[in-house]
Chain A
Amino acid sequence: MTDRVPVLKIGDVLLVSIQTDLEDQMVLDLQEDLSNRIVATGARGVIIDISALEIVDSFVGRMLATNASISRVLGAETIVVGMRPAVAMTLVELGLSLDGVRTALNLERGLGLLRRLQASRSDRA
């Protein structure tokens, strides 16, 4: 059995902190776990911390983009935080622009961005 990436709940935010070198199956499991947890908890926001990731290849990049889309459909905004500079440079050269994925420099800014997004959403509602 492969390891699973833990999904933590803090208030109405789900926090995913990826701490290990990701195997493809872990990436697929995370996608499923996260979708289930959003529905089970009614979370409004998801933060994916990739500060420990030494590389993001097209498979992981696609997972980040797909997760953001799935979460949005389920009523939660996703913010990817903590991308290393070398990873960002590599991603862009690889040709991945991560369209549709919101990013923030770190966890603190990511949480701030979520709060602002939620505030503007409740204004409109």
Chain B
Amino acid sequence: MRDYGADSVSVTEVAVATNGDVVKARQMVRTLAQSSGLSLVHQTKLVTAASELGRNMLVHGGGGTVRASAVVEGPRKGVWVEFADHGPGIEDIGLALTDGWTSGNGMGLGLSGAQRLVDEFDLDTGSSGTTVRIVKWGR
């Protein structure tokens, strides 16, 4: 996946340490999705994915930072969001991306569900933390 974060000139960010911060991150992503002209369905999918990933980051990674930016590629506009934590990392990525598998008290749809809701999904995990980057394009 292209490094949209480095390419972008206007990245906004929210530090996530509480459930309330997840709501703030969600609102930041919604505002960007609206200003980028994403359709209502695309906005809803992106914000839902951001909610899942933001909560994952808080529950499993002990919190972290959500960064987001509008991105442009040729004629299309989209929104890029990055979720970075310094948690213990994900042991088995394949398993974590499986529907129905959960290490917590969710439904096991966080990662796999979020992946389905966006156009690009990139997961980088290790013992020093996990970073998930997503992009949702408008049509």
Please list the residues of chain A having a beta carbon within 8 angstroms of any beta carbon in chain B: 2, 21-25, 54-59, 61-62, 84-87, 89-90, 93-96
**B32 in the interface, Cβ–Cβ < 8 Å?**
no
A61 touches B44 (CB 8 A): no
Please tell me the size bucket of the interface on B. Answer: 20 to 34
Please give the residue numbers on chain B whose beta carbons come within 8 Å of chain A beta carbons, in ascending order.
19-20, 22-23, 26-27, 30, 40-41, 43-45, 47-48, 51-52, 55, 99, 106-107, 109-110, 112-114, 116-117
Residues of A within 8 A of B23 (CB): 21-23
User: Complex formed: what's the CA distance from A24 to B54 in Å?
Assistant: 12
Which of chain B's residues have a CB closer than 8 A to the CB of A89?
41, 44-45
A61 with B107: CB separation less than 8 A? yes
- Pick the contact of B44: A23, A58, A62, A86 (CB < 8 A): A86
Q: Give the residues in chain B near A61, CB-CB below 8 Å.
A: 107
Contact A54 B109 (CB under 8 A): no
What distance in Å separates the Cβ of B21 from its nearest Cβ neighbour in chain A? 10
Q: Evaluate contact between A87 and B19: CB separation under 8 angstroms.
A: no
The reply to whether B44 and A55 form a contact with Cβ atoms under 8 Å apart is yes
Q: Tell me how far the C-beta of A67 lies from the nearest C-beta in chain B, rounded to whole angstroms.
A: 14
A58 near B106 with CB under 8 A, answer yes
**Interface SS majority for chain B:** helix
Shortest beta-carbon distance, A118 to chain B, in Å? Answer: 30
Partner of B109, one of A2, A23, A58, A84: A58
Q: Which of A2, A56, A57, A86 gathers most chain B CB within 10 Å?
A: A57
When chains A and B are docked, how far (Å) is the Cα of A67 from the Cα of B56?
23
Question: Given the complex, which residues of B lie within 8 Å of A86, measured CB to CB?
Answer: 40-41, 43-45
How far in angstroms is the closest Cβ of chain A from B40? 5
Tell me if B44 and A94 are in contact (CB < 8 A): no
A56 partner residues in chain B, CB cutoff 8 A: 48
Output the nearest chain A residue to B114 by Cβ-Cβ distance. Answer: A94
Are B110 and A58 closer than 8 Å at their CB atoms? yes
Question: Roughly how many angstroms separate A25 CA and B23 CA in the complex, as a whole number?
Answer: 11
Known: A57-B55, A86-B44. A62 touches B113 (CB 8 A): no
CB-defined contacts of B19 to chain A, threshold 8 Å: 23-25
Q: Cβ of A55 and Cβ of B40 under 8 Å apart?
A: no
* B113→A95 contact, CB < 8 A: yes
| Complex Cα gap A57–B55 (Å) | 10
Contact between A59 and B113 (Cβ–Cβ < 8 Å)? no
Task: A54 to B29: give the CA distance in the assembly, Å.
Answer: 13
The answer, among B22, B26, B44, B113, for a CB contact under 8 Å with A87, is B44
